[in-house]
Structure 1
């Protein structure tokens, strides 16, 4: 079976080096090698390592990098540029965890309001057990904490391939939209990269 997305071939590495330089090629190679090295670790350790490793990529707002606001970069785009904003970290973590065997039905791109700094932010939620508060992977924190302990975050929506959701006080998700246009657009871009 082929290595799940994102995966790079030798041809991809040559293309990246030609298009974006040796540093970008090295970053993509390091990603592939590092994520593969996590495959035999326990799930909790995989979560921590993926969060820590990817949080080391440099942040940059979309309007600087992409010349537009709210651009959702694919993991390959993020690795090639080496910069991204909050949703780009969430997207690469989402696909990296799926690559490691996590159930994509338990992973959600999560829009939140950051109470103390102000403004909207995106984090990755992992619902390890049904009915429990999800674990939050955040590019602003190397610690993975349950949502209920993140007093700085006010959740808006949870997004994945099955739709857009809100959460009730019992940590049960309920669907508010059948799909997210931005997420569907991302999946189309990912499909072209495979």
Structure 2
């Protein structure tokens, strides 16, 4: 389990970021820390909206352009330093940021969805505010947070967090299908190594 203050950057981190990645990268990290500190003063509903809006301002870019590989799950630190990310990178940083703000991990899931109109796959963050209700969806393609049952453009395939990988039935109940996700496990190892 991660420390509740992740992602965190100390003074040495900021010096190294400026030296290796430039002043803009350092300023982006400082801005993130200052904004998340401000968000702590608000209620959970407002925090969800603020986190979604704030992080959606980072620039999208496909993994094969930034990382020179397909389907790379960037840590929040990597995403903030580069300033660019793919859909899963937005989901991961939102997930970690909400945990940092005190959200219950049992209600947050990295969610793979099928895009109903375009075809293909996408990732969003699901937040189960109430039991047996459709989760709220935080999406890098939308500044609005809507329940999954209103999002006709996407169909949920799987839900992942530290507890495992789940499927959701028509009553919005999750059932575990795998004990863990190799990608999630690999991401956590990378985060713990570079924390």
Which category of TM-score, normalised to the shorter sequence, fits these structures? over 0.9
Aligned length: 193
Q: Confirm or deny that 1:4 pairs with 2:5.
A: yes
Report if aligned partners of 2:4, 2:102 keep a CA contact under 8 Å in 1. Answer: no
Q: Confirm or deny that 1:142 pairs with 2:140.
A: no
Q: Confirm or deny that 1:101 pairs with 2:102.
A: yes
For the aligned residue pairs, the C-alpha RMSD in angstroms reads: 0.9
Q: Runs (4+) of structure 1 moved beyond 2 Å?
A: none
Provide the secondary structure at the position in 2 that maps to 1:123: strand
Aligned to 1:39: 40
**How far 1:167 sits from its partner (Å)?**
0.2
Q: Confirm or deny that 1:49 pairs with 2:37.
A: no
Aligned to 1:62: 63
Provide the secondary structure at the position in 2 that maps to 1:14: helix
In structure 2, runs of 5+ residues without a counterpart are none
Report if aligned partners of 2:18, 2:26 keep a CA contact under 8 Å in 1. Answer: yes
Report if aligned partners of 2:4, 2:99 keep a CA contact under 8 Å in 1. Answer: no
Provide the secondary structure at the position in 1 that maps to 2:57: coil
Aligned to 2:184: 183
* Residues 148 and 3 of structure 1: CA distance in aligned 2, closer, same or farther (over 3 Å): closer
* Residues 104 and 76 of structure 1: CA distance in aligned 2, closer, same or farther (over 3 Å): same
Provide the secondary structure at the position in 2 that maps to 1:171: coil
Superposed, 1:79-118 pairs within 5 Å as: 79-118=80-119
In structure 1, runs of 5+ residues without a counterpart are none
Equivalent-residue separation in structure 2 for 1:3 and 1:107 (angstroms): 14
**How far 1:193 sits from its partner (Å)?**
2.0
1:78-137 Cα offsets, whole Å, 9 max, x none, are 000000000000000000000000011110000001111221000000011111110000
Provide the secondary structure at the position in 2 that maps to 1:132: coil
Aligned to 1:170: 171
